[in-house]
Structure 1
């Protein structure tokens, strides 16, 4: 029996609610996806910051996990912390929010019939009182995900290079060039999943050629395309 992953739309704009069940011994690395997650793991509330590299396997004993994956640039305002402070990190929610509040939320999720739905409730309530995401940075993410260059994106949103980089660190955890690479890799993987050959997927995603995609896969995912698609399934939204 393999991993079972499911996701559905969150009530928070652009976010996804997901659940994952893995059997004992599962090798389950995590690929960068430009997102941040609110997680429920082993009875604890955690936050996954934006990744710049693949995370190592994290469920050697199996188990069930749940999370809310926020769109690029959306989580910092909701969580109340700049994205770069959480880059390549997994931190307890109690390190970011008041302990008494987190204890109450932990009890609520632990007692819920559907922990994923309870996480979504937390996100919805928080979004209602938190400040909105930086609209310019949401636009930046959309432009980069469409394949525009960083220069084209900066011009489209009316920001200079230095200001774009500074605000990207706050919203995404890294500069726009890194976000563009991560989003391009995710596009390429989606094309391959749809049945497109590697070379065609590379070009469609915006890589120069298949060799370019292979280099990005090694640097960002720590594996090859063949290993990714023939070995252990990798889900990019989990701890």
Structure 2
């Protein structure tokens, strides 16, 4: 079982969704470019951002629920650069100390929801980085290469901080992107393109057609990324009986 719902209005632009999940066995989690606050099975932790698949294992009957941050927004709320959390599961107490431990207790008892926990942090969170947000949008729009998505410095909109120059160098933008998202634009493009393939897979007649529809140069390109991001071949990952979390595929995201 896996269900997603829109986040509450006060978290618009901060969270991509809230979700709950229960699985009878190990669940393969593939990279989606996001960080999650996860609650359940006796633990509260921050997951991701991932660069490769990992297996989520819970006790029989255990239910997880959580909040998925919008790409580039978690770092400001969590108070730590996203790349420091790459490919990790960090207990909330380790991240926020005593405050995190107390918050985890309230989350586990149901006194507070993940959305409420994140909302409580918003007053002290930094404003979103407009240049990073713009680059995320361009990468998700289907750019074939990062160079096509990076806005030339001469045309980029000014940032909000008056103490900062009105234009941002490409090198500085990439550094800020890594801190906000968790990895560089090239990796994010790879992940978002594969997520696009997951979304399109149910309607694709074959892998070659899927590769073209998702924006890959050819089927071999899709195969390389699939192996790197899931640990499986495309035929193994996309077939109905594979170990892929089919509920996540149907919902267009990995939980």
TM-score normalised by the chain length of structure 2: 0.82
Task: Give the counterpart of 2:229 among 220, 234, 237.
Answer: 220
Contact 1:78–1:132 (8 Å) recurs in 2: no
The answer as to 2:15 corresponding to 1:17 is no
Query: Residues 184-195 of structure 1: matches in 2 within 5 Å?
Result: 184-195=193-204
The answer as to 2:75 corresponding to 1:76 is yes
Task: Give the counterpart of 1:124 among 119, 122, 135.
Answer: 119
Distance 1:199 1:156, change over 3 A: farther
Contact 2:28–2:56 (8 Å) recurs in 1: yes
Q: Structure 1: 5+ residue runs without aligned partners?
A: none
Q: Distance in 1 between matches of 2:175 and 2:94?
A: 24
Matching residue of 1:200:
209
User: What is the CA distance between 1:62 and its match in structure 2?
Assistant: 5.2
Matching residue of 1:164:
173
Matching residue of 1:108:
106
- Deviations for 1:101-148, whole angstroms, at most 9, x for unmatched residues? 2233223223328x7xx1111112222331122121111111001012
- Deviations for 1:194-228, whole angstroms, at most 9, x for unmatched residues? 45542222112210112211111001111122222
Q: Structure 2: 5+ residue runs without aligned partners?
A: 157-167
Query: Residues 138-157 of structure 1: matches in 2 within 5 Å?
Result: 138-148=133-143, 149-155=145-151
Q: Distance in 2 between matches of 1:94 and 1:174?
A: 24
Contact 1:76–1:133 (8 Å) recurs in 2: no
Structure 2 residue matching 1:183: 3-state secondary structure: helix
Q: Return the structure number with greater relative CO, CA threshold 8 A, min gap 6.
A: 1
Q: Distance in 1 between matches of 2:20 and 2:63?
A: 7
Count of residue pairs the alignment pairs up: 229
Which protein is bigger by CA-based radius of gyration? Answer: 2
